Amino acid sequence: MELTPCSIEQFEREGYLFFPGLFRREEIKVLLDEVPRLYAQLRPENVREKGGDAVRTNFAAHMYSYPFAKLARHPRMVKPVMQILGEELYMHQFKINGKMAFDGDLWQWHQDYGTWKNDDLMPEARAMNVAIFLDEVNEFNGPLMFIPGSHKLGVIDAQHDLTTTSYPLWTIDHDTIRKLVERGGIVAPKGPAGSMILFHSCLVHASTSNLSPWNRVSVYLSLCAVSNHIRRFKRPEYIAHRDFTPIRCLPDDCLLTDYDVALPWKDGTPESALKPQLAA
């Protein structure tokens, strides 16, 4: 999938691109059918909602789940980012966010690059998120909200929020958000399962809790330019990967066809991936 000059211009202006219904129903089924099995596992990669069992985020499934290992190499997700960053990419982070019916908690306003810079010492914002909806996203199940154009401001001051949700994040204060919204407004891309969003790592975003009876499972690939790899391994490897090998894409039919992919963590997470690694 090649982005047109017009899409690239739109991305530069708004900080995101939305592709409703890009993946077919049969392709999404292969992924969604795997999620309950992953969420049921007692693995450190399953981060649960505060005070409950519902999975908020599952990390690194591409290291131990066959369908997700193929998704991590899908040309419809990887190639547009390569085109924008003009370089080979590695997987910085891979997550399946549950935002389960009734239980899915909010995500405070933040920029992903804020966390990647502060925690992982990623040198520049040469990394991007690509999200794919495994469920329909509507106005009731906690859609992702963006402040268009906010990516142009670079890294905005943030505080390390360790309390409001069950996942630590560098979040932006409400006064700043008020000003940013006066300038850029808020959008919340909604669409059927199979829709894809590509967004800049400095784009300010958040999502509310899901009080609806509908799950909002989405997968996020955080792809980083190889030359821009992280310099500090403070977070566990399943959250911030340390293997900077360029991604080799599979053919476009990979979700529905068998291809050989490595599943190095299928028998468990290696001890070394659970801990910080101090600089040599």
Assigned token pair, 270: 């290696």
Which phi and psi angles does 161 have, rounded to 5°? -95, 110
Closer of 112 and 119 to Mn ion (Cβ): 112
**With CB under 5 A, what is the number of residues at the site for Mn ion?**
1
Closer of 26 and 124 to Mn ion (Cβ): 124
Contact 82, 88 (CB under 8 A): yes
Closer of 67 and 104 to ligand SIN (Cβ): 104
| Residue 231: its H or E element | none
Q: Residue 201: which of Mn ion, ligand SIN, none does it interact with, CB under 5 to 8 A by kind?
A: none
Applying CB under 5 A, which of residues 112, 119, 135, 237 lies at the interface with Mn ion? 112
Q: Residue 144: which of Mn ion, ligand SIN, none does it interact with, CB under 5 to 8 A by kind?
A: ligand SIN
Residue nearest to Mn ion (CB): 112
Closer of 130 and 254 to ligand SIN (Cβ): 130
Ordered DSSP codes for 101-157: TTTPPPEEEE-HHHHHHHHH---SS-EEEEEEESS-B-TTS--EEE-TTGGGG-SPP
Q: How far is the CB of 56 from ligand SIN (least distance, A)?
A: 9
Cα distances from 242 to residues 75, 91, 129, 150, 194, in angstroms, run 22, 9, 17, 29, 29
Closer of 116 and 265 to ligand SIN (Cβ): 116
| Residue 118: its H or E element | helix 112-120
Q: Contact positions toward ligand SIN, by CB under 6 A? A: 97, 99, 107, 144, 205, 207, 218, 220
Q: How far is the CB of 190 from ligand SIN (least distance, A)?
A: 13
Q: How far is the CB of 258 from Mn ion (least distance, A)?
A: 33
CA 202 – CA 180 distance, rounded (Å) = 13
Site residues, Mn ion (CB under 5 A) = 112
